[in-house]
Amino acid sequence: MKSIFRKILFGDTQVKEYATVNVDEIKESVYLKIGDTTINISQNQYLLCLEPLIFGVWLEKGKDIISGSGYYTCKMYFKQNKTILSALTLSLFKRIDEDNGSLILLKLEKSRIYHLNVLKTRLLFRQFYKKPGLSFAQLKGFASAYSYPRRVRVISFRQGDYYNIFPMDLLGDISQSNQYVFGLRHSNTALQKIMETKRLVVSEVPHTYKETIYKLGSHHSAGPPPIAELPFKVINSKNFGFYVPEWVDSYKEVNIKTTINLGSHMLLWGDVQNECTLKAATGHLYHIHYLLYLYHKHKGLTYPIV
């Protein structure tokens, strides 16, 4: 019955929560509105926690439209050209102030999505997404957050004989300030050790290694095999000596200086100590929500599926 329903509404497209794509140029944009002031934050917004849904927004010094505004809520808009894909109302959760700017943490209060008409969206939820622990409000939140492609990167950690290597998309590279932010789930087996040593390595990875990257996802909740049993060779990062897959494009060694419990995830905020480029980038792996994929397909704007 579900397959017939899917074909009637969406053709032969397989319905799933997220699509994995390669992005040459991001088509979407994100805007933050406080009072009468709206700014483009596309390059400086990061998804950091899922329960509750929390975004990090980096605002450079002198461009902090929240500080002193008197507003405790704000609006965030995800757009494709001039079309609004989703509209969010958020509240100020916390902020990290630095000499050169601030990381503003914003918690989702409510959202509206416009990828499909309301009837199709409701039917899609009831037939394919409705399950214990997932409400329609949560679906709207996830669809909003992933209405902007989220790049997948690989994290490396090592402490004595212990190591771990796993993929993440809840993170952000604040390159203009040489800082990095991560949102690690509390169930991640390496989290406590990372917080103790205050170090990790984050790598940019090519989309052609998608299957290998996804297999590393099991390391979030289970111990990895002995390093010699990995299906690929590793190199040692320059300063930390952490294991890095030999096929990565580049990596950054990060010193963690601040941690904040966000809910389902722990925020890690740190400074980049060292950066190493191994080869020219050949295209990265991104996650987008299936509703954005359907919207793109209808408009003839699809990103290549990986």
Walk along the chain (306 residues) in steps of 10 and give the mean pLDDT of each run.
49 74 95 94 98 97 77 90 96 93 96 91 78 84 97 97 96 95 96 97 97 93 90 97 98 98 98 97 94 91 89
Residue at which a domain ends, from 127, 148, 169 = 148
Q: Kindly state whether residues 102 and 188 are assigned to the same domain.
A: no
- Look up the CATH number of the domain holding residue 195: 2.30.110.10
Half-sphere CA count of 49, side-chain side, radius 13 A: 22
Q: What is the residue range of 214's domain?
A: 153-283
Q: What is the pLDDT of residue 108?
A: 98
162 and 266 inside one domain: yes
- Does any domain span residue 196? yes
Residue 122 has a pLDDT of: 84
User: Is 5 within a domain?
Assistant: no
**Are both 143 and 159 inside the same structural domain?**
no
Domain identity same for 120 and 164: no
Pair 79, 186 in one domain: no
Instruction: Specify the pairing of strand 243-245 against strand 73-80.
Output: unpaired
- Same domain for 175 and 139? no
Whether 71 and 183 map to the same domain: the answer is no
Whether 158 and 272 share a structural domain: yes
Q: Which residue, of 148, 169, 201, is where some domain finishes?
A: 148
Partners of 281 in the β-ladder: none
Cα(252)–Cα(254) distance, integer angstroms? 6
Rg of the Cα atoms in the chain? 20
How many domains does the chain divide into?
A: 2
- Please indicate, yes or no, if residue 4 is contained in any of the structural domains: no
The answer to whether residue 200 is domain-embedded is yes
Same-domain check for residues 42 and 161 = no
Q: Indicate whether 7 belongs to any domain.
A: no
The answer to whether position 115 is within a domain reads yes
Which of the listed residues 113, 148, 183 is the one where a domain comes to its end? Answer: 148
User: Where do we find the tokens 């933050």?
Assistant: 32
pLDDT at 130: 66
**62 is a domain residue:** yes
Q: Are residues 184 and 277 in the same domain?
A: yes
**Same domain (yes/no): 138, 158:** no
- pTM of this structure: 0.92
> Residue 270 burial (CB < 10 Å; 0-12/13-18/19+)?
buried
| Residue 135 belongs to some domain of the structure | yes
Separation in Å, CA 246 to CA 45, 123, 161, 233, 284: 29, 45, 20, 6, 16
Judgement on whether residues 140 and 160 belong to the same structural domain of the protein: no
